[in-house]
Amino acid sequence: MALTYVSSKDLKARGRALEILRSKFGEIAKQILEGRTPIMVIKKRTLANTIFDREKGILRIGDESLRRSFLNAGEAKKFMQTVLMASIIYDTLVNNEYPTIRDLYYRGKHTIRYRKLPSKKVVEENTWDEQKESDSVIRDIEVFIDMLREELLILSKEKGKVVGNMRIRSGDDMIDLSKMGHGAYAIEPTPDFIEFVDIDAEYVLVIEKDAVFQQLHRAGFWKKYKVILVTSAGQPDRATRRFVRRLNEELGLPIYVLTDADPYGWYIYSVFKVGSITLSYESERLATPKSKFLGVSMVDIFGSKKLGKKPYLTEAERKNFIIKAKDKDIKRAKELMNYSWFRTKRWEHEIEIFLSKKAKLEIEALTSKGLRFLMDKYIPEKIETGDWID
C-alpha cells in the first residue's frame, strides 16, 4: 500500500509519531532489561474518571490511572495486545501506510499455540478475536502516548458530509464545496490536514440525520440562508467533530445542532459540544463548547408555560408524529440527568417534559409537516429569535 506520492505534512507527522512511540515503549523495554516489572501507566477511560471542565465547557480525562503490569495474570493479555498494536502502528508509520482500524485488527490477529501446564495439553488462543478488543487497545495507546490516531495516520470510515459556499484544499487538490452536485464532500479522516481557502457563510447547521441533510441540500437551503450544512449521519465520528470544531474556532462561525427529540439526539449534541466519555481525552481537540442545540426540543413540540412558549406542532400533528418513548429511552434520559453537563435549568426542563410526556420525535416529522416549514420557518425563526439551548 506504499504510495508513490507522500505528502510532506504526513511525513512530518509520521516522524514525530515514530519518535514518541520509540521513547514511550523504549521505557518499557528498559524496565524489562533492568529487571523491573514492565508496567504501563495509562489514564482510565471510565465515566468515573471523566471530568466536566465547566470553565472550558468540555469533558476531560481525569488523573486516575491504571497500572497495566505484564506480570499480573489478569492484565498480561491486555499488555501484550497493547504492545502488539503499537508495533503494528509503528510498522505502518515506517512504511508510509494509512491503515484503518479494521486493517490494524486483521494485521494483529494471529494464533498463539501454547501448552497448558502441568497437563501439557496444547491449546490455541488468538491475540484478539473481535475488533472491539483491538479498537480498545488503540484508544489505550492514544492515551498512553498522548497522541491521537489521526496523528498516527490511522484512518477511520468516513461518515460525515459537508456542503456550502466554501473552498478547501485537501492534499494537493482544491475542492469547492458549493459544487458537489447532489452529493456532498465526505469529511476526510484527517481533517487537520484540510486547509480552509475561502468561505461565505453565516453559520453552520449540523444535522444528525443524513436524510434531512439531503433534503435541505437539494432544496438549496444552504444557498438561500448562507449556511455550511454538515451531517454526522448518527453518532458523530472524530473527523466530523474536529471539522466542526475548526469551523467554529478558526472561522468564528456559530454552530447549531439539529437532532431527534430524544435522549440519543441530546447525547449526540453533547458529544459535539463537550466531548464523549469514551474519548474524553480528545475533547480538547474535538469538542466545540460553543455549539448550540437548535432543536428539536420538547418545548418545540409541547410548548412551555414556564417559558411562555407556544408549540410548533398542533394537537393533531402531535398525535400523528409523536412516538411513544421506550423503557430504554426513559433509562437513558435518567442517565443523562446524572451527567453534570446536562445539569442546567433548561436541560432539566427538557428532560422533565420528556419523562412526564414519555414521548419522542424524529426530525423527519418536521419535514412531514412540510420541508418549507422546516427550512423557511422553523430553522430561521429559531435562529433569529435565539430560541436554542446553550
- Name the residue nearer to another protein (CB basis): 24 or 102: 24
Are the CB atoms for 216 and 207 separated by under 8 Å?
yes
Question: Distance (Å, rounded) from C-alpha 52 to C-alpha 82?
Answer: 28
93-112 positions binding another protein, by CB under 8 A: 110-112
Identify the residue among 1, 2, 55, 116 touching another protein (CB under 8 A): 116
Question: Distance (Å, rounded) from C-alpha 104 to C-alpha 153?
Answer: 12
- Residue 138: Cβ within 10 Å count: 21
Least spacing, CB of residue 296 vs another protein, in Å: 49
Q: Is 91 in the site for another protein (CB under 8 A)?
A: yes
Are the CB atoms for 83 and 28 separated by under 8 Å?
yes
Report residue 74: phi and psi, to 5°: -75, -15
125-154 positions binding another protein, by CB under 8 A: 125, 127
Question: Distance (Å, rounded) from C-alpha 69 to C-alpha 65?
Answer: 12
Q: Is 363 in the site for another protein (CB under 8 A)?
A: no
Identify the residue among 44, 46, 65, 80 touching another protein (CB under 8 A): 80
Identify the residue among 21, 42, 137, 244 touching another protein (CB under 8 A): 21
Are the CB atoms for 59 and 277 separated by under 8 Å?
yes
28-57 positions binding another protein, by CB under 8 A: 28-29, 32-33, 35-38
The answer to whether 106 is a known catalytic residue is yes
Identify the residue among 7, 9, 19, 26 touching another protein (CB under 8 A): 26
Packed helices 345-357 and 263-273: angle between N→C axes, nearest 10 degrees: 160
Which residue in 62, 81, 63, 179 sits closest to 126, CA to CA? 81
* Interface with another protein: number of residues (CB under 8 A): 37
Identify the residue among 90, 98, 203, 373 touching another protein (CB under 8 A): 90
Identify the residue among 73, 172, 252, 386 touching another protein (CB under 8 A): 73
Least spacing, CB of residue 362 vs another protein, in Å: 47
Q: Is 211 in the site for another protein (CB under 8 A)?
A: no
- Torsion over CA: 40, 45, 46, 52 (sign): positive
Residue range at the interface with another protein (CB under 8 A); choices 79-87, 172-180, 199-207, 227-235:
79-87
- Name the residue nearer to another protein (CB basis): 124 or 315: 124
Torsion of CA 219, 220, 224, 227, to 10 degrees: 110
Residue in 5, 90, 105, 106 annotated catalytic: 106
Which residue in 223, 202, 206 sits closest to 363, CA to CA? 206
Residue range at the interface with another protein (CB under 8 A); choices 25-33, 232-240, 261-269, 352-360:
25-33
Before 99, cis peptide (omega within 30)?
no
The three cell numbers locating residue 331: 433509562
- Name the residue nearer to another protein (CB basis): 112 or 174: 112
Segment (H or E) for 327: helix 327-338
Place of cell 427538557: 350
Q: Which residues bind another protein (CB under 8 A)?
A: 21-22, 25-26, 28-29, 32-33, 35-38, 70-71, 73, 76-77, 79-80, 83-84, 86-87, 90-91, 110-118, 122, 125, 127
Active-site residue list: 106
